[in-house]
Amino acid sequence: MTIPQAITATQHSLLRVEMESLGFEVIEEKSARVINQIKSAVITLVQGKDKESRTRKFSVYLSDKLAKDYNYLSSLFSSIEGTTIEQYLIHQKIEKVKELLVYNELSLSGIADQLGYSSVQHLSSQFKKVTGLTPSHFKTIGERKRKPIDKV
């Protein structure tokens, strides 16, 4: 059995270039990895791929998912991203609302329920606060107002 050896700085640079040419992102710092894990967990939650998470408080969900204290995650995220995890979650939810409105998959009530809003009014007021439009007005102007999830 051979013992793995550390790579040189040159090998590291070549590996980075090769990985990026294949469309991968090399994450160096622990904090950057944690930020990416937070974003991934939020997107998974918003996309509805983690059904059991809808019954838990968001901070508990995230803390359990990453096995880290929520205050640490929140502080780290804010310091690096310049916004709170909660704002990031809201923006992800609003983009999901836009998607569902454009594709006319659910009623506004169904969308509110699916995304964990307490009411249609709460969803509508948050939507207007973020976009400047009501959900019904957005629906009439359609897809040109949507951003890809990875650009939020």
Three-point CA angle 101, 107, 109, nearest 5°: 115
Buried residues in 70-85 as b, exposed as e (16+ CB within 10 A): beebbebbeeeeeeeb
Kindly report, residue by residue over 60-117, the tens digit of the pLDDT.
Answer: 999 999 999 999 999 999 998 999 999 999 999 999 999 898 887 788 999 998 888 9
pLDDT averaged over the chain?
85
Residue 123: both structure tokens together: 């969803």
- Ordered by start, the domain boundaries in the chain are 27-82, 87-146
Q: Is pLDDT above 90 for 136?
A: no
User: How far is Cα 106 from Cα 112, in angstroms, rounded to an integer?
Assistant: 9
User: How far is Cα 127 from Cα 130, in angstroms, rounded to an integer?
Assistant: 5
Count the Cβ atoms, other than its own, within 10 Å of residue 46: 23
User: How far is Cα 3 from Cα 70, in angstroms, rounded to an integer?
Assistant: 38
- Domain 87-146, CATH among 3.40.50.11900, 3.30.160.20, 3.10.640.10, 1.10.10.60: 1.10.10.60
